[in-house]
Amino acid sequence: MLDLTTTQLIPLYLAALVIGFSKTSIGGAGTIAIAIFAAVLPAKESTGIILPLLILGDLFAISLYRRHADWGLLVRLFPYVAVGVVAGAGFVRIVDDTVMRRSIGVLLILLVVIHLWRQRRLRAQGEAPPMSVTRRRWTSLGFGFLAGFATMVANAGGAPMSIYLFTMGLGVMSFLGTGAWFFFIVNCFKIPFSVALGLIAVDSLWLDLRLAPAVVVGALIGWWVAKRLDIKTFEKWVLGLSVVSGLNLLR
């Protein structure tokens, strides 16, 4: 990890920049960074290397949106997320690097498809009726497990979590605050699993230290851009690039 070439380091710095940007602006952009890391580095190891960078970005998001979290929603969601993380850790343990890389690609594409399907359905139906208690519970279970599994396998829990928060009808600030705390807590929860699987080691942490400044710069850019960006247009670009990145990992 310490003798990477300049050709390898440049895309990793760009990916780290995107991680910071995604944490304080448009979360979907993070899928691009995940795909870049998995393309430059061994797929399994890339998930462990990217984790401390995600946590660094989470800290910036919390500093900006920490007062707006819906803690009741988070408490209901976390048990299902924990089960998904454990299931994802078991999956990582038994698959080889090729399967891991292709799994990341499939997850990225699947999550984009789910997002687009959900958006189209809501546009067709108009304003969604209030959820029953039972439906809320099943929705929390399904999205919680999927977010936990996806974040453990590919650090790709952003898409299912975003769709879930949107489904729950949160306002903008509640959406940002709840998401910031969610990912910080879940990413910290993943650390022991990543260490036990050998995904986080001394070499990987040294690489994280080299890439950390790019995360900080990206987070500050994201904070500045978030208030000025045409989000709909940017979202289309992010989703399109996520599909391209996912398809590239399926090779």
pLDDT, one tens digit per residue, over 149-184 is 888 887 777 777 877 877 777 776 787 788 889 989
Range of lowest pLDDT (94-103, 192-201, 211-220): 94-103
- On the question of pLDDT at 191 being above 70, the answer is yes
Mean pLDDT of 12-37: 86
pTM to 2 decimal places: 0.80
- CB distance 214 to 11 below 8 Å: no
Cα–Cα distance for residue pair 184/93, rounded to 1 Å: 23
Range of lowest pLDDT (17-31, 54-68, 158-172): 158-172
Cα–Cα distance for residue pair 41/207, rounded to 1 Å: 12
pLDDT of residue 58: 93
Cα–Cα distance for residue pair 223/129, rounded to 1 Å: 33
Q: Residues 222-238: pLDDT tens digits?
A: 888 877 766 566 667 76
pLDDT of residue 149: 87
CA 91 to chain centre: 18
- CB distance 65 to 183 below 8 Å: no
Cα–Cα distance for residue pair 215/208, rounded to 1 Å: 10
Which is more confident, 128 or 176? 176
Residue-wise over 187-208: b if at least 16 C-beta within 10 A, else e? bebbeebbeebebbeeebeebb
Token couple for 73? 């929603």
